[in-house]
Chain A
Amino acid sequence: MIEVKHVSKTFSKPYREPGLAGAFRTLFTKKKIITKAVDDISFTVGEGEIVGYIGSNGAGKSTTIKMMTGILTPTSGEILIEGKRPYDHRERKTILQDIGVVFGQRTQLWWDLPLRDSFDLYRDIYGMSQAEYEQRLDYLDRLLGLKPLMLSQVKTLSLGQRMRADLAASLIHNPKILFLDEPTIGLDVLVKEKITEAIRQINRDGHTTIILTTHDMKDIQNLCKRLIIIDEGHLLYDGTLADIKKRFGDIRHIFVLSSDRLDLEEATKAFGGRVSFVMLDDGYLEASYNADEIGADPIYKFLLAKLNVKDLKVDETTLSSIVRKIYEAKSV
């Protein structure tokens, strides 16, 4: 279980003025810029949950993950992993056996050596018996297809292969909790699917708690029931995926391509503001409406009557459009 209680983290950086003279002046001032990366965040994650932890760039996601894994110490508040503080020197030692961490932009593998050597190294670090280790490696091989990579030097692996290997390396000791910081960054669709499938399987087989940060809403939709959204260090939302969709309504979008022009103001008035019309850059007209408030029939009729329609598409609200709205509005 992970408990995050009123956690804040502030960073102070020396104040640097631009330009040559500024750089010189910087040498003699003690001015500091204080930024609050995480501001009074609290949540609890139960055993076996998969939680998507999302936010725009610089929202404080990585800072929170780093505090939960003990790399950073909170300025105030407390984080407990299985009842112990990960950033405490003495308590950390016992927690590290229980957690696995993947930072998508970093590797934890021995660059110049064949992949197998890195796994052997982790076997020794975690004090695993050979039998236990072989069994675990077999399991991870079935999930992630590692066998063909075992004899290649890590530096010769492609990004997708390396990511699979990195994920396996973080799971070799069968941790209870797995932290994934953008594990699918820069990966192609096929590798992404393989990785999300593996994560789901690991959660199912080992009842592993998983905290996942990502910018890819497909990952979230495929994996998480629960979503935590933060922005500028504040907690914006903590709840189920279904809930947030409901809260934003069942928004549908109709896209129409036509050579005719529609008077957008007039069209909006015609529906009493319940449908919003936007002209998109690619020439399509987008009509968005809440399916709980109004049916599709009058809108189609209106559009077909007014316009010479060349093409027509319908789309339901995606998680990414909801999230985009939340990021823009900075509230739920």
Chain B
Amino acid sequence: MRRNPFKKYLGFIKGSFLSVLAFRIEILAWILQDVLNVVILVFLWFAIYQQNGDASINSFTYPQMISYLIMASLTNQWIGNSDTFSGVSRDITRGDIATSLTRPLSYRGRYYAASFGSLLANFFLFFVPLFVICQFVFVYALGLAWPLWYNVIFYLLAGLLGMTIIDSFDFIIAQLGFKTNSLFGIFIMKLALFSFLSGAAIPFSFFPSWAQLFLPYLPFGGLSSTPLNIFLGRFSPLESLQWLAVSAGWAVVLYSLSLLTNNLMIKHVESVGG
């Protein structure tokens, strides 16, 4: 009957793209805060490397460490800024899930499409310009090599998978709103946990050896560690593909899980109300 079942989600991609544009000043303020964070980390690591005396710690030289941290922050900017968590929890507390059921589309699909829209907006509006500037800094100030073209492509792929993983996590966690009123606390906890377990705060090679055995195989690695190591050329192409496969596996598993909880939630709403 309908020509293209995905066409209806295009509207959400476009809409959330436009929403990001509407909030560009607010987002700039967030980015400034990230920049401040990174500046503090740069000084912190500078002190650590000076104290240490060695050129590299856990296989990271100082310039590599700095580029890792900056890229971690930039990566989070484009893959981790969806509205899913706040949107779903808002829908739950206000009871708007009910109204959304009166429109012929998937609630989960709608949020995923919206996340993809804000990913595109964040990517073109903030990531690309900042990324270009940072590359010049990496090459001319830190003496690093230009990134390889295939690593850039793998990085973008890893980013898309990472976004799917975060978005599905956010969607699932937000549903705790049915059980608790302290979603904000859960949100803060989630941020801290993700930044730690994803390798955004410190590279996995800094973790104890027993943790390094399994940490990369958890879904969190797909958010930072995998894309960053790919981008910085720390993986061979074959290794990159292997880690991409791990992320892809998690993306599929978590997206399916989010679909499942979505259906359970709708059943719950249908029997008890929003």
Contacts and interface: CB of A to CB of B under 8 A. Distances in A.
Contacts of A66: 98, 273
A113 B18 CA distance: 7
Contact of A72 (B8, B96, B270): B270
Interface string A146-158: 0000000100000
Contacts of A123: 11
Contacts of B2: 127
Interface stretch (A102-110, A198-206, A251-259): A102-110
B7 A121 contact: no
B249 to A, nearest CB: 28
A125 B271 contact: no
A141 interface: no
Interface stretch (A92-100, A241-249, A266-274): A92-100
A4 interface: no
B22 A125 contact: no
Nearest to A95: B104
Contacts of B15: 110, 113, 117-118, 121
B101 interface: yes
A185 to B, nearest CB: 15
A120 interface: yes
B23 interface: yes
Given A71-B102, A117-B15, A153-B22, A127 B8 contact: yes
Most buried by B among A87, A92, A127: A127
Most buried by B among A66, A99, A101, A123: A66
Contact of B103 (A87, A106, A112, A125): A125
A69 interface: yes
A70 B102 contact: yes
A124 interface: yes
Contact of A71 (B3, B22, B269): B269
A106 B99 contact: yes
A153 B269 CA distance: 30
B81 to A, nearest CB: 15
Contacts of B10: 124
Closest 6 pairs (CB-CB, A-B): A124-B11, A121-B11, A96-B104, A127-B2, A125-B8, A101-B102
Interface of A: 11, 63, 66, 69-73, 87, 92-93, 96-97, 99, 101, 103, 106, 108, 110, 112-113, 117-118, 120-127, 153
5 contacts: A71-B102, A72-B98, A73-B270, A93-B104, A123-B11
